[in-house]
C-alpha cells in the first residue's frame, strides 16, 4: 500500500484531517498577516502542471510555496513533452523523481489519477473537469471564519452541475452538511461522475428559489466551464433563469453569505448587486486559497506538526 497522500478529490481526506488543516490554515494565515517568516518547506520544490488557464490557482500555489521556504516551477503542458504525446505515466515517473510535490490542472480526472498512480510524491488536484477540491477547501474555511462550523448547515448550489458542484457534494458527505442543488433540465447532477457513495446529503430542486430558501450559503459558478466553450451559446439560453440575484438572496437565511470561486460573469450566473453586495465574501474566499493550500502542502509533506 502506498504511503503517499494525494489530494485528487475532496473525499481523499477525512473530516479529522480537514479539521487539522483548517486549524493550521488559521495559524499560517495569522503568521503571514503578522509578517512572521515560516519556512517549514525549505529546499522543497513543487511542480505545477497547467493544461488550462489560471490566475488564483497558479498564484496561490506559487506564492504559497515561496512563503513556506520552498520553490515552485510552472509547467504549461503545451511547452512540455506532455503536449507532444509523452505518456502521462512516463511523465509522472520522471517529474516525481525531481520534485517533492506536484499540482496538476487538467481535463479528465482519469489523467490526474494515472499520473498519481505513477508518482513517488504527493499529487494535488488544481482542477479537473470533475472536481476542484482546493477551491472547496478554501470555501469551507471561509465559511468557518465568517459563520463558524459548517456541520448541519445548508449550502444552495445554483447553476451547472460542474467540478465545483460535484466537490461541494463530496464535501457535504465528509463534513456532514447539506447541499440544495438546482440546475436547468439536462444539466442535473450525475452521482457517479460526482464520485458520490452517499447521496443522503443533497436534495435537487427544479426551482432555484426553492433551493435557496433558508440556505446559510448561496453559491454558483460560470455557466460554461473551461473545456466546454463550444456549448457557450446554448448554455446561455439554458441557464438564463439560474442567475443568483437579490431575490434569491432574500429567501436565504438572513445571515447567508454568497460565494463564487471566480472568475465571475456579472449579469450571467450572478447579478452584480449580489457579488458586489454586503453578503458576498468572494475576496476572502479567493485569498483563502493561499492559506488553506499552504496548510495542505505542509500536511502532505510533513504530516501533522506542532509548530
Ligand atoms: N477559482 C480558480 O480556481 O481560479 P483560477 O482559474 O484563476 O485558478
Ligand atoms: N467551473 C470552472 C471553475 C473555474 C475556476 C471551470 O472549470 O472553468
Tens digits of per-residue pLDDT, 159-199? 999 999 999 999 999 999 999 999 999 999 999 999 998 88
Pair 202, 243: CB distance under 8 Å: no
CA–CA dist 227, 52 (Å, integer): 8
Cis peptide before 214 (omega within 30 of 0): no
226 lines ligand 1 (CB under 6 A): no
Q: Which value, in Å, is the radius of gyration of the alpha carbons in the chain?
A: 19
pLDDT value of position 300: 98
Enumerate the domain spans of the chain. 10-132+288-302, 135-285
Residues listed for the chain:
307
Report the top-level CATH class of 10-132+288-302. Answer: alpha beta
Residue 78 falls in the annotated catalytic set: no
For the segment(s) 135-285, the CATH number from 3.30.470.20, 3.40.50.1370, 3.40.50.300, 1.10.10.10 is: 3.40.50.1370
Query: Do residues 212 and 154 lie in contact, with contact meaning Cβ atoms separated by under 8 Å?
Result: no
Q: Strands (DSSP E) along 174-300, which ranges?
A: 178-182, 202-204, 217-220, 257-260
For residue 53, the ligand 1 atom closest to its alpha carbon is 6
Residues 299, 210: Cα–Cα separation, whole Å: 39
Distance from C-alpha of 155 to C-alpha of 25, rounded to nearest angstrom? 22
CATH topology identical between 10-132+288-302 and 135-285: yes
224 Cβ inside 6 Å of ligand 2: no
Residue 30 is given by DSSP the state H
Ligand 1 center from residue 307 Cα (angstroms): 30
Q: Are the C-beta atoms of 48 and 126 separated by less than 8 Å?
A: yes
- 48-96 pLDDT, tens digit each: 999 999 999 999 999 999 999 999 999 999 999 999 999 999 999 999 9
Q: Is 297 in the pocket of ligand 2 (CB under 6 A)?
A: no
| Biggest alpha carbon–alpha carbon distance for the chain | 53
pTM of the model: 0.98
Q: Is residue 265 among the annotated active site residues?
A: no
How close is the Cα of 1 to the center of ligand 1, in Å?
Answer: 33
Alpha-carbon distance 208 to 217, whole Å?
14
CA-wise closest residue to 190 among 162, 150, 159, 164: 162
How does pLDDT run across 33-44, given as a tens digit for each residue?
A: 999 999 999 999
| 224-253 tens-digit pLDDT | 999 999 999 999 999 999 999 999 999 999
| Rounded distance between C-alpha atoms, residue 294 and residue 154, angstroms | 27
Percentage of the chain beyond pLDDT 70 is 99
Q: Is the CB of 221 under 6 A from ligand 2?
A: yes
Which of 138, 227, 262, 265 is the pocket-test mutation for ligand 1 (most atoms within 8 Å of CB)? 262
Amino acid at each position: 500500500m502506498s504511503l503517499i497522500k494525494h489530494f485528487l478529490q475532496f473525499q481523499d481526506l477525512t473530516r479529522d484531517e480537514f479539521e487539522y488543516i483548517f486549524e493550521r490554515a488559521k495559524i499560517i494565515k495569522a503568521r503571514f498577516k503578522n509578517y512572521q517568516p515560516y519556512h517549514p518547506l525549505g529546499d522543497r520544490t513543487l511542480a505545477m502542471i497547467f493544461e488550462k488557464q489560471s490566475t488564483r490557482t497558479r498564484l496561490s500555489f506559487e506564492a504559497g510555496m515561496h512563503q513556506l521556504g520552498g520553490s515552485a516551477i510552472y509547467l504549461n503542458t503545451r511547452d512540455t513533452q506532455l503536449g507532444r504525446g509523452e505518456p502521462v505515466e512516463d511523465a509522472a515517473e520522471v517529474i516525481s523523481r525531481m520534485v517533492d510535490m506536484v499540482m496538476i490542472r487538467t481535463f479528465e480526472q482519469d489523467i490526474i489519477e494515472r499520473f498519481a498512480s505513477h508518482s513517488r510524491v504527493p499529487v494535488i488536484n488544481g482542477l479537473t473537469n470533475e472536481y476542484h477540491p482546493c477551491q472547496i477547501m478554501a470555501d469551507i474555511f471561509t465559511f468557518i471564519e465568517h459563520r463558524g462550523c459548517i456541520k448541519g448547515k445548508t449550502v444552495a448550489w445554483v447553476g451547472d452541475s460542474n467540478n465545483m458542484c460535484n466537490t461541494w457534494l463530496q464535501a457535504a458527505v465528509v463534513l456532514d452538511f447539506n447541499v440544495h442543488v438546482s440546475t436547468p433540465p439536462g444539466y442535473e447532477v450525475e452521482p457517479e461522475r460526482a464520485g458520490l457513495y452517499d447521496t443522503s446529503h443533497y436534495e435537487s430542486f427544479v426551482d432555484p428559489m426553492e433551493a435557496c430558501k433558508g440556505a446559510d450559503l448561496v453559491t454558483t459558478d460560470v455557466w460554461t466551464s473551461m473545456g466546454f466553450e463550444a456549448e457557450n451559446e446554448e448554455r446561455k439560453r439554458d441557464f438564463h433563469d439560474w442567475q443568483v440575484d437579490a431575490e434569491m438572496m432574500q429567501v436565504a437565511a438572513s445571515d447567508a453569505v454568497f460565494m463564487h470561486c471566480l472568475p465571475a460573469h456579472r449579469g450571467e450566473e450572478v447579478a452584480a448587486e449580489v457579488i458586489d453586495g454586503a453578503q458576498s465574501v468572494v475576496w476572502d474566499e479567493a485569498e483563502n486559497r493561499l492559506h488553506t493550500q499552504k496548510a495542505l502542502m505542509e500536511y502532505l509533506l510533513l504530516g501533522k506538526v506542532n509548530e
